[in-house]
Amino acid sequence: MKSELIIGSRGSKLALWQANHIKARLTQLRPDLATRVDIIKTTGDVRSDPLSLIGGQGVFTKELEESLLKGQIDLAVHSLKDLPTILPDDLAIAAIGEREDPRDALILPVNSRLAINSLKALPDQAVVGTSSQRRVAQLKAIRRDVTIKDVRGNVDTRLRKLDEGQYDALILAAAGLTRLGLKNRISCYISTDEILPAVGQGALGIETRAQDQFTRELVGQLTHRPTELACLAERSLLRNLGGGCQLPIAAHATIDGPHLVLEGLVAMPDGSRILREQISGNPARAEELGRDLAMLLTVQGAQSILKTQ
């Protein structure tokens, strides 16, 4: 039996909030077990290039996974949307925690007097900051007039750039703002009808070594089953489409009584063509539903869109 658990985390304020949240939950489960958080820099943290140029797959997770495989840490806490759908051999997702609001949010400069409740209400020719191809494609489909400008850095850095006038608005995940106590900066929540979220957005994924039974069983107690089923469906869709977290692929699953409802989307980067479909079924078939929706989108031409990117 272990006397200490080492939690691996990126060094951003949001990542450390997430890691310390899991640390506190584990301490509640096992007060006798020491835990600590080790900061590990990832490729996505040290490079400032647009994510689409770095190669989005695993840029925020690769070094954490390497530390797990070397036995330097016992678990890694990820924003699930950053975690590739195919894991390295010998690693496993031990738990998926309860989801925060999965929607994207629109943020205006701190001194803005505009009252905006939809992307359609943005000023003409607005400059909008985002580093997500998924958001770019869906925003362009709604507002072809806006200018998209890449934005990198942690949440505080992005908000500072916004308030300095480098952008007219930002699009960020609502979950991160809420967790950092910055909910007051949200000008409006973006309806999933306007922009469908990233796969796994708002959920935390906890990764361990597959053969580390003690850690897997302990961490497994943090699983929130409805969130897990929704995310399994979303991740199955992404995996079966063969896409990564930086391609214009989006998904959102909810549990509605006895049904799991899964929406999926594949888009051209410029928003000129968007495929969007929905499927529902037994939540116990979550991964099959993701596969079935991927097949439905493929029949409609999803692969021809993805091959152009």
87-105 pLDDT tens trace = 999 999 999 999 999 999 9
Q: Are 179 and 16 in contact (CB under 8 A)?
A: no
Element of type H or E holding 195 = none
Task: Please tell me which residue, 156 or 47, carries the higher pLDDT value.
Answer: 156
The confidence score (pLDDT) of residue 287 equals 98
Compute CA distances 22 → 90, 96, 222, 240, whole Å: 22, 11, 8, 30
The confidence score (pLDDT) of residue 53 equals 45
**Do the domains 104-189 and 1-98+203-223 match in fold?**
yes
The confidence score (pLDDT) of residue 247 equals 76
- In CATH, 104-189 is 3.40.190.10: yes
CATH class of 1-98+203-223: alpha beta
The confidence score (pLDDT) of residue 168 equals 96
Q: Does 49 score more than 80 pLDDT?
A: no
Q: Are 264 and 293 in contact (CB under 8 A)?
A: yes
pLDDT band at 305 (very low <50, low <70, confident <90, very high): confident
Please, where are the H alpha helices in 55-150?
62-69, 133-142
| Mean of all residue pLDDT scores within the chain | 92
Q: With left for phi above 0 and alpha for psi between -120 and 50, is residue 25 left, alpha or beta?
A: alpha
Q: What angle do CA 99, 14, 75 make, to 5 degrees?
A: 70
pLDDT band at 2 (very low <50, low <70, confident <90, very high): confident
Domain coordinates in residue numbering, the chain: 1-98+203-223, 104-189, 224-309
Considering only 50-59, 70-79, 162-171, 186-195, which range has the smallest mean pLDDT?
50-59
The confidence score (pLDDT) of residue 54 equals 41
Catalytic center residues: 82
The confidence score (pLDDT) of residue 59 equals 76
The confidence score (pLDDT) of residue 258 equals 95
pLDDT band at 32 (very low <50, low <70, confident <90, very high): very high
pLDDT band at 303 (very low <50, low <70, confident <90, very high): confident
Q: Which residues of 188-221 are buried (b: 16+ CB within 10 A; e: fewer)?
A: bebebebbbbbbbbbbbbbbbbbebeebbebbee
Q: Does 44 score more than 50 pLDDT?
A: yes
Q: What is the mean pLDDT of residues 267-282?
A: 95
pTM of structure: 0.92
The confidence score (pLDDT) of residue 26 equals 97
DSSP state of 307: T
In the CATH hierarchy, which fold is given to the domain comprising 224-309?
Double Stranded RNA Binding Domain (3.30.160)
pLDDT digits (tens, 9 = 90+) for 102-146: 999 999 999 998 889 899 999 999 999 998 999 999 999 999 999
Q: Are 35 and 45 in contact (CB under 8 A)?
A: no
